[in-house]
């Protein structure tokens, strides 16, 4: 009976480890995708409008 409980504990532990690893891989892939998008946007010019602030003469 102890062996069965031990085997169940090992299987559950292995399953939890696999799930955690899969979640970590998803997070790493999302960060990598964001990094690639940022690198791609560096080649574009500044697309923000230029605002000129002029004070009235006093």
pLDDT-based confidence at 6, cuts 50/70/90? very high
* DSSP, residue by residue, the chain: -HHHHHHHHHHHHHHHHHHHHHHHHHHHHHHHHHHHHHHHHTTSPP-SPP----PPP-
7-57 tens-digit pLDDT: 999 999 999 999 999 999 999 999 999 998 888 888 888 778 888 888 888
- Give the pLDDT score at 7: 96
pTM assigned to the model: 0.58
């Amino acid at each position: 009976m102890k062996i069965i409980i031990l085997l169940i504990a090992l299987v559950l532990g292995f399953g939890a480890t696999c799930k955690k690893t899969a979640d970590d891989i998803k997070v790493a892939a999302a960060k990598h995708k964001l990094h690639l998008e940022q690198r791609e946007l560096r080649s574009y010019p500044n697309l923000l409008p230029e605002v000129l602030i002029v004070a009235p003469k006093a």
